[in-house]
Amino acid sequence: MTGINSPHNSNTLDNSMIIDYMEKGFLDNIIDLFIYNTSYFPLILEMLTDERLRVRIGATALVEHFSISHNEHLLRLIPDIAKLLKHKNPTIRGDCAYILSLIKDPSSLPYLEAHKDDENNIVRQIIEEAIVEIKGQNSNPALK
């Protein structure tokens, strides 16, 4: 099927609608949607790079919420979030480092370590804090 009725196009429309809803502050509804259909979790990546501040803040709120209850879905996003540590926008790089600290998984450490010399001082500080946070949450002395 092609055109407006194609599955790919309807998913794109759903994604942009969900992101627009995030901008309007419908966080609780989006949380419910993600719980109902976990295939939406990768949409967090798109939200993290959105130009609208409210959308990016909403993405962070989603990660904060799901880091407690659905962390397994966030763990799958770590490599893609880590790629955003190379984004041209330092705000997005810092946000992604913070997101990785919320997920608190040691698999994030190599990505963060690789970027701890970021050209932006604020991003460097956020990355260092993320590393400390993740190492502090892990009881394995070898990671500390």
Instruction: Report the pLDDT value the prediction gives residue 3, as an integer from 0 to 100.
Output: 38
Each residue's pLDDT, cut to its tens digit, for the chain (144 residues) gives: 343 343 443 455 589 999 999 999 999 999 999 999 999 999 999 999 999 999 999 999 999 999 998 889 999 999 999 999 999 999 999 999 999 999 999 999 999 999 999 999 999 999 999 999 999 975 555 554
3-state secondary structure of 134: helix
Q: What is the CA radius of gyration of the chain?
A: 16
3-state secondary structure of 58: helix
Question: Containing domain of residue 24, as a range?
Answer: 1-70
From 70, 85, 110, the end of a domain falls on 70
- Rounded to the nearest 5 degrees, what angle is found at the Cα of 69, between the Cα atoms of 132 and 97? 30
From 70, 98, 121, the end of a domain falls on 70
Rounded distance between C-alpha atoms, residue 65 and residue 69, angstroms = 7
- Residues 5, 65, single domain; the answer is yes
Predicted confidence (pLDDT) per residue in 68-84, tens digit = 988 899 999 999 999 99
